[in-house]
Structure 1
Amino acid sequence: MTTTSAGALPVPDDELLRAAEAGDADGVAAALRSGADIEARDANRRTALLLAATHDRVAVARLLVEKGASADAVDDRQDTPWLVTGVTGSVAMLEALLPAKPDLTIRNRYGGVSVIPASERGHVDYVRRVVQTGIDVNHVNDLGWTALLEAVILGDGGPRHQEIVRILLEAGADPAIGDKDGVTALDHARAKGYAEMSSILTQANPAEARPN
Structure 2
Amino acid sequence: MGGDGAKLVGAAGDGDERRVRELLRDGVAVDARDWDGLTALVAAAAKGRAALVGELLGAGADPAAGDKDNITALMEAAIGGHADVAARLLEAAPASLDAAAASGVTALWLAAGEGRLAVAELLLGRGADASNARSDGITALMAAATGGHAAVVAALVRGGADVAAADRDGLTALMNAAENGTAAAAAALLAAGADVDATSATGFTPLIVAAAGGHDAVCAALLDAGADVGRRHDEGVDALMYAAAGGHASTAALLAAGDADVEPHKDDVTALQVAAQGGHLACVSLLLDAGAD
TM-score using structure 2 length: 0.63
Structure 2: gaps (5+ residues): 1-37, 40-60, 65-71, 263-289
Q: Is 1:171 paired with 2:229?
A: no
Aligned to 2:62: 11
| Aligned equivalents of 1:51, 1:81: Cα separation in 2 | 7
CA 99–193 in structure 1, closer or farther in 2 if over 3 Å, else same: closer
How far apart are 1:207 and its partner, in Å?
A: 5.4
- Secondary structure of residue in 2 paired with 1:131: helix
**Identity percentage over the alignment?**
31
Give the RMSD, CA atoms, in angstroms. Answer: 2.3
Aligned to 2:141: 82
Aligned to 1:32: 90
CA 27–166 in structure 1, closer or farther in 2 if over 3 Å, else same: same
Whether contact under 8 Å (1:65, 1:99) holds in the other structure is no
CA 206–26 in structure 1, closer or farther in 2 if over 3 Å, else same: closer
Whether contact under 8 Å (2:63, 2:73) holds in the other structure is yes
Alignment of 1:32-181 (within 5 A): 32-37=90-95, 38-153=97-212, 155=213, 157=214, 161-181=215-235
TM-score using structure 1 length: 0.85
CA 150–184 in structure 1, closer or farther in 2 if over 3 Å, else same: same
Structure 1: gaps (5+ residues): 1-7
| Aligned equivalents of 1:50, 1:206: Cα separation in 2 | 37
| Aligned equivalents of 2:248, 2:176: Cα separation in 1 | 20
Whether contact under 8 Å (1:16, 1:36) holds in the other structure is no
Aligned with 1:184 (options 217, 229, 238): 238
| Aligned equivalents of 2:143, 2:226: Cα separation in 1 | 23
The AA in structure 2 aligned to 1:170 is D
- Secondary structure of residue in 2 paired with 1:12: coil
- Secondary structure of residue in 2 paired with 1:16: helix
Whether contact under 8 Å (1:12, 1:36) holds in the other structure is no
| Aligned equivalents of 2:168, 2:108: Cα separation in 1 | 19
| Count of residue pairs the alignment pairs up | 201
How far apart are 1:195 and its partner, in Å?
A: 2.6
How far apart are 1:90 and its partner, in Å?
A: 0.5
Greater relative contact order, per chain length (Cα 8 Å cut-off, separation 6+): 1
Aligned to 2:50: none
